[in-house]
Amino acid sequence: MSTFRGQAPGERNDITHMISINGLPNNEADVTAVAVDPNNPNNLYFSVEGDEGLYKLDLSPIKDDSKDADEFSNIMRKLPNGFNQDLK
């Protein structure tokens, strides 16, 4: 299991930001499963320990902005091993 905890100063962590705006009680969460939508690779779905919801993160704004290319790569490297599994 990979853990995304809060935000380092000066860094943007889109996954914790997405969780936060979806109403989880704080900006810390353990990401327990991740999958890419086979019909739209820009859509990343993930679940969070202790919460039954499935969250969607649209990666297209990150991919489309060359300034954010490094951030996109960093997010990809931090994802759990199941990142490439297909949604069923």
Residue 10 burial by Cβ neighbours in a 10 Å radius (0-12, 13-18, 19+): exposed
Q: How far apart are CA 5 and CA 8, in angstroms?
A: 9
**The predicted structure's pLDDT at residue 45:** 78
Average pLDDT, the chain: 56
Q: Across-strand partners of 45?
A: 35, 56
Domain boundaries, the chain: 2-84
Q: Which of 16, 18, 21 is nearest to 4 (CA)?
A: 16
pTM of the model: 0.42
Query: pLDDT tens for residues 39-63?
Result: 877 777 777 777 777 777 776 665 5
